[in-house]
Amino acid sequence: MNNQTHFILKLSTFGIHCSLEVTDELKQHSSLPSIWIAVNNSVYDVTRWVKYHPGGEAAITNVGGRDATDLINQFHKPEVWRKKIESWYIGDLEGCSGSSSSNGPSAAITTEFRQLGQWLEENGWYIPDTMYFVRKTLYALLMFSAALYLFFDSLSVDEGKPPKYTLYLSSFLIGLFWQQSNFIGHDIGHSSVFNKGSWKHRLFGNFVGNAFTGLSISWWKHSHETHHVTTNVVSHDPDIQHLPVFAISNKMFKYVSGKGAGIFSSYWDAFMPFNQISRFLVCYQHVLYFPIMTVARVNLHAQSLIFALTHAKCKGVLKMLELSNLLVFYSWWGYLVYLCPTWSSRLLFWYIANATVGIIHVQICLSHFIMETFDEVQYQKDGESYFEYQLRTTLDVDCSRYMDWFHGGLQYQVIHHLYPRLPRHRLRSLRHKVQEIVNKYRHVQYKHFSFLYANILTLKHMRDIAKEAAKGKLVPFKDTLIFEGLNAIG
């Protein structure tokens, strides 16, 4: 018998008791067609809910067969998840303390972060200030109004003459409008704008995300919640899967039996090969990083459209809502580009807006690119807790209070990953409490750098990976999806 803690699972379905090792028992139900999770010492069969989960199947399947107490508590309001999973109850885990980790520092720090979460709940920190987000929305719309004024003023010149410089200033403001709107969309996606009413978040999200910026709020939730659960796991986290353009870890060069080098993405359900094209691009990724960020928006627009048009979770009224609001975006944005007097002015107008909003992509990447990466979800592995896992994979960006508008809450990604339901206007105030807890333990760190230094570290890290990529193994061209497509294989 090994040294792992033993528990008793009371199987209410059969009315019997049986001794078992909880980790082994849960692992037997870690993937479809049977997925169980443990929450607060109770076991639930969540198999039926997987395909209906708003955050996508991967947000559940990647933590199946584990104690998901902290994930459930941090992502869902207590009254929501308790009512939802009541009918899925199987039995209780008896004889355990409820800690998600073994004795020692992991158990101690988990207890402190849970107590802090309970304190936040009891003191109303999770209750959003809706007027705060109304002000943010009005501020973004004011910026958009100024951009439209400048745009039409720039066209008030004699025919045949180039537009005024205000055309490009308006494009810059549209890019900032998109950035600020995306911050609000992020808040909406985490249901931290309205205190009650998921339909309010759905409608407001379509307005701000789809109609303002052309990004599907449903696609974003599906992708982003998977990212939160599988942060920096190379095979699961879509936010770090950027082959053939970027590779943030040498784990993406590992040999995969029968496929060659690369990774299999569970999110995309596809193999992402490290081939000749990947090697060429990744070897220069530190040089290409910022230029690519200026046009990265194109990829997000494409993913949004594909999701809204084809994904099984986007159907019926939701599909109509998503597509109609995306149509609003392409109508107003396409009309502005069309009104530009020349092809060169259209191209420059389009590029300036996309390059400006590209700042937000840089802000997002800073929080994870230089942190640890893993082959599998670490939560509950070797006794590591949800909180320790998030501290290992995420960093914060230091800034003055006067620059909070520029970062939109993304500068506090550590705090956000620890307590994702916490509204944006509470993040700064919680930093010192998190720092106080982390300072007590040597095995964890709360990493935070200035915006400039974080960018420098990111480029250095990408350069180091680029050097390793030059020595990485390759997938033969005949084994790539491109070759299969050209030859109608499969």
Asked whether residue 200 is domain-assigned, the answer is yes
**In this structure, are 317 and 363 located in the same domain?**
yes
**Domain count within the chain:** 2
Count of C-beta atoms within a 10 Å radius of residue 431 = 16
Asked whether residue 295 is domain-assigned, the answer is yes
The model's pTM is 0.88
Q: At what angle do helices 285-293 and 343-366 cross, to 10 degrees?
A: 120
**In this structure, are 264 and 352 located in the same domain?**
yes
**In this structure, are 156 and 222 located in the same domain?**
yes
**In this structure, are 22 and 108 located in the same domain?**
no
Of the residues 65, 81, 98, which one is the last residue of a structural domain?
Answer: 98
**In this structure, are 356 and 263 located in the same domain?**
yes
**In this structure, are 23 and 61 located in the same domain?**
yes
Of the residues 66, 98, 130, which one is the last residue of a structural domain?
Answer: 98
Asked whether residue 313 is domain-assigned, the answer is yes
What tens-digit pLDDT sequence spans the chain (490 residues)?
333 333 445 444 433 233 334 556 777 887 888 888 888 888 888 888 888 777 778 778 888 888 888 988 888 887 777 777 778 888 876 555 444 445 678 889 999 999 999 999 999 999 999 999 999 999 999 999 999 999 999 988 777 677 888 999 999 999 999 999 999 999 999 999 998 777 889 899 999 999 999 999 999 999 999 999 999 999 999 999 999 999 999 999 877 667 778 899 989 989 999 988 999 999 999 999 999 999 999 999 999 999 999 998 888 999 999 999 999 999 999 999 999 999 999 999 999 999 999 999 999 999 999 999 999 888 777 778 999 999 999 999 999 999 999 999 999 999 999 999 999 999 999 999 999 999 999 999 999 999 999 999 999 999 999 999 988 666 554 444 444 444 444 4
Check: CB of residue 126 under 8 Å from CB of residue 422. yes
Asked whether residue 59 is domain-assigned, the answer is yes
The pairing of strands 89-94 and 42-45 is: antiparallel
Asked whether residue 1 is domain-assigned, the answer is no
**In this structure, are 32 and 105 located in the same domain?**
no
**In this structure, are 175 and 284 located in the same domain?**
yes
Of the residues 98, 120, 152, which one is the last residue of a structural domain?
Answer: 98
Check: CB of residue 218 under 8 Å from CB of residue 225. no
CATH number, domain containing residue 60 = 3.10.120.10
**In this structure, are 149 and 282 located in the same domain?**
yes
Check: CB of residue 219 under 8 Å from CB of residue 304. yes
Q: CA 423 → CA 14, 186, 398, distances in Å?
A: 43, 10, 18
Range of the domain at 86: 7-98
305: CB partners within 8 A, 6+ apart: 216, 326
**In this structure, are 113 and 74 located in the same domain?**
no
